[in-house]
Chain A
Amino acid sequence: MKLQIEAGGELHEIELERGETAGQYRVSVDGVSSTDVEAYLLRPGVLSLHTGGKAYRCVLEESAEGAVIHLAGKRHPYRVDDPRSLKSRRSRHAGTDGPKSVTASMPGRVVRVLAKVGDLVEAHQGIVVIEAMKMQNELKSPKAGKVVQVRAEPGDTVVAGDVLAVIE
């Protein structure tokens, strides 16, 4: 099985070859190294991984922000570049062309909407203010352009990832 994984700002090609017994893998990273790995899933998200004479506890975290491996007290965010997934391909080629959305970075309540449909906005101009745990967070426009949609009203409850406005 071949996987393209983006981690630590780099794209890696990982090849996993299952061994004869369950949990055994032969792993090559970017075609150069080839390592024997033994892995056991203790419970969902908690993996005991043995490789190179060392034992690791790898914990998988998944949220709206993406996936992260927790290893020895550190977070390692990663993203799978799945050639079958249209969504990941699209986000890989992210630029400033086309419509861009202002999305909620955290769950909260909308306290203010600073732009309306038809407004011309600058890049990084505040569009929506959301509040959670007594802290306010201003969500900014990802690009300069025209506000074509506003999907938030003061008082709305939003979750991370919700599209609150679209800038074209």
Chain B
Amino acid sequence: MFRKILIANRGEIALRVMRGCRELGISTVAVYSDADRAALHVLEADEAYRLGPAPATESYLRGDLILEVAQRSGAQAIHPGYGFLSENASFAEACEQAGVKFIGPTAAAMRALGSKTRARQAADAAGMPRTPGSVTGLASLDEAYAVAAEIGYPVMLKAAAGGGGKGMRAVFSKKELGTAFTSAASEAERAFGSGEVYLEKLIERPRHIEIQILADEHGNCVSLGERECSVQRRHQKVIEEAPSAFVDEELRRRMGEAAVRLAKSAGYTNAGTVEFLVDEDHNFYFLEMNTRLQVEHPVTELVTGHDLVHLQIRIAQGEVLPFKQEEIRLRGHAMECRVYAEDPDNGFFPSPGKITRLLQPGGPGIREDSGIYEGWVVPLDYDPMLSKLIAYAPTRDAAIARLLRALDEYVIGGIRSNLGLFRRILHDADFQAARIDTGYLDRLLAGNGEAAESEDADSETVATIAAAVFESMRPANGNGRNAAANHSEDSAWKRTARREGLRA
């Protein structure tokens, strides 16, 4: 049994894993970069060790330093979270050699499924449907022309080592293929250190639906239902939900069985996700496998009632899966919003900086996995995700209503966030009717969305009156509000002190 686990990550996922550890009576070790000394995961851990300077390559990606900390602190296992080293087979291998358990699949399974071309070969071997196209990297442009001619346009060029939409190009005709091939390959080379690209048939208006699997080290593997993640912007998920409104019992069973088959064929262990594209006729095509815990795992936890982090730890300890496939039941509906420090009104530019005001939602059916607090300065060195706001309710409609209610309670001040974007999506008739596909959000954003949220005169007046009341409470000085704004925290404290009569 593990007594101590090192969490090789930061932000909300580090906290989420620590909570799981604590619930199992396991003590936690945090690691941090210089930019994160004041981060919540450092505050909440039982032990915390500095890795190095802010850039991830000098801190959170330094597997050697992290292993050293694990050995120095006596941690028996490392949970990698998502991103950073979570899908790095060499790191998993180094852990194995150092005698520290990596909470995730083996390096061999990761290698077999981590590269998209190798995963496509594994899909073929497991007899699961995938999009038509190549299963090895394209050696030349001529080969690309040949494959495209065979499967027919439109096609997608994708990086074998890819993720997050990098090295990816939709190609609609032969004359576009040449430039797309060169630019996708060079983008992939820059982003992943490998310029290997392959071609697949472009599925029109697909839904992104993925299957969560869990496999123990004794040959048992189950699927825990699907998540629909069709609401995306630039191939990045924005809202995820479980179950999918589009998936019926029969499709769920078929997709689940295919995912389990793939995992078993690669000797996969621990938690993983098999991603599919699903077309309008309920055909599903294997997309890729993510060999780690995913950002959106909470929606699966809520509808299955199982704690995935607990299960990951128990599997890594060598325990047998505590349930069988037929014991897994989905109940209710869960939906997650990824809250980012970015400005939807200004081209989604990142908005790092100090969180001067924070009011977080709560109440029935609301879960928030966050890594932020009032007064924290969101560093500009990492991913802009602040928090995940998740609602759980008996039905999809009720989950939407809960999220909208929670969004009204939520205030993040000092930096810009995408909270307003969620309000817009959740109020949209197409979203409410689950008429979504991976192009849905881009179409919504391209439309005249300004009209969707009309200003009502009453609240405008109340806001103006509130502004005046706040202004009247400011200490009088000759510089007006500009000076006060620059020292807002300071003056706020003075203001309170004065009101309380504590001092002059």
- A residues 48-89 near B (Cβ < 8 Å) are 49, 51, 56, 58-63, 66-76, 78-80, 82, 84-85, 87-88
A137 to B47, CA, bound (A): 38
| Residue of A whose beta carbon sits closest to that of B341 | A133
Interface size grouping (class) on chain B? 35 or more
Contact status A49-B465, CB under 8 Å: yes
Contact status A58-B359, CB under 8 Å: no
- A94 in the interface (beta carbon within 8 A): no
Contact status B349-A105, CB under 8 Å: yes
Contact status A62-B350, CB under 8 Å: no
- A residues 127-156 near B (Cβ < 8 Å) are 132-135, 137
| Residue of B whose beta carbon sits closest to that of A8 | B460
A102 to B359, CA, bound (A): 33
B488 cross-chain contacts in A, Cβ below 8 A: 62
A69 to B346, CA, bound (A): 19
- B464 in the interface (beta carbon within 8 A): yes
Q: DSSP majority for the B interface?
A: helix
Among A27, A29, A44, A59, the residue within 8 A (CB) of B411 is A59
Q: Contacts A62-B488, A63-B413, A107-B353; is A56 near B466 (CB within 8 Å)?
A: yes
Among B351, B356, B359, B480, the residue within 8 A (CB) of A84 is B480
A45 to B469, CA, bound (A): 11
Contact status B469-A16, CB under 8 Å: yes
Among A41, A46, A75, A88, the residue within 8 A (CB) of B480 is A88
A163 cross-chain contacts in B, Cβ below 8 A: none
| Residue of B whose beta carbon sits closest to that of A70 | B411
Contact status A12-B481, CB under 8 Å: no
- B350 smallest CB distance to A (angstroms): 4
- B384 in the interface (beta carbon within 8 A): yes
Among B382, B411, B459, B471, the residue within 8 A (CB) of A80 is B471
Contact status A16-B468, CB under 8 Å: yes
Among B357, B383, B408, B469, the residue within 8 A (CB) of A73 is B408
Contact status B496-A5, CB under 8 Å: no
Interface centre among B380, B455, B478 (most CB of A within 10 A): B380
A76 to B462, CA, bound (A): 10
Contact status B461-A69, CB under 8 Å: no
Q: DSSP majority for the A interface?
A: strand
- A43 in the interface (beta carbon within 8 A): yes
- B493 in the interface (beta carbon within 8 A): yes
Q: Which listed segment binds A: B245-253, B364-372, B414-422?
A: B414-422
B352 cross-chain contacts in A, Cβ below 8 A: 106-108, 132-133
- A39 in the interface (beta carbon within 8 A): yes
B348 cross-chain contacts in A, Cβ below 8 A: 135
- B264 in the interface (beta carbon within 8 A): no
Contact status A107-B414, CB under 8 Å: no
| Residue of A whose beta carbon sits closest to that of B493 | A44
A14 to B479, CA, bound (A): 19
A78 to B464, CA, bound (A): 8
- B444 in the interface (beta carbon within 8 A): no
A165 to B380, CA, bound (A): 22
- B235 smallest CB distance to A (angstroms): 14
A108 to B384, CA, bound (A): 13
Interface centre among A35, A37, A45 (most CB of B within 10 A): A45
Contact status A82-B460, CB under 8 Å: no
- A47 in the interface (beta carbon within 8 A): yes
A71 to B459, CA, bound (A): 7
B468 cross-chain contacts in A, Cβ below 8 A: 3, 5, 14, 16, 27
A27 to B469, CA, bound (A): 10
Contact status A59-B357, CB under 8 Å: yes
| Residue of B whose beta carbon sits closest to that of A157 | B380
Contact status B414-A82, CB under 8 Å: no
- A123 in the interface (beta carbon within 8 A): no
A62 cross-chain contacts in B, Cβ below 8 A: 356, 413-414, 485, 488
A1 cross-chain contacts in B, Cβ below 8 A: 472
A7 cross-chain contacts in B, Cβ below 8 A: 460, 463-464, 467
A145 to B469, CA, bound (A): 42
Q: Which 3 A-B pairs have the closest CB atoms?
A: A61-B413, A44-B492, A82-B480
A74-B453, A105-B349, A133-B350 known, 6 other contacts, Cβ within 8 Å: A41-B499, A63-B353, A72-B459, A73-B408, A73-B420, A76-B467
Ordered by A's residue number, 20 sampled pairs between the chains whose C-beta atoms are within 8 Å are A14-B465, A29-B461, A37-B465, A41-B495, A44-B492, A49-B466, A49-B469, A56-B462, A56-B466, A60-B357, A60-B413, A66-B485, A67-B467, A71-B463, A73-B423, A76-B463, A106-B353, A132-B380, A135-B348, A135-B350
Partner-B contacts on A (CB < 8 A): 1, 3, 5, 7-8, 12, 14, 16, 25, 27, 29, 35, 37, 39, 41, 43-47, 49, 51, 56, 58-63, 66-76, 78-80, 82, 84-85, 87-88, 105-109, 132-135, 137, 159-160
Partner-A contacts on B (CB < 8 A): 341-342, 346, 348-354, 356-357, 359, 380-384, 407-408, 410-411, 413-415, 419-420, 423, 453, 455, 459-473, 478-482, 485, 488-489, 492-493, 495-496, 499
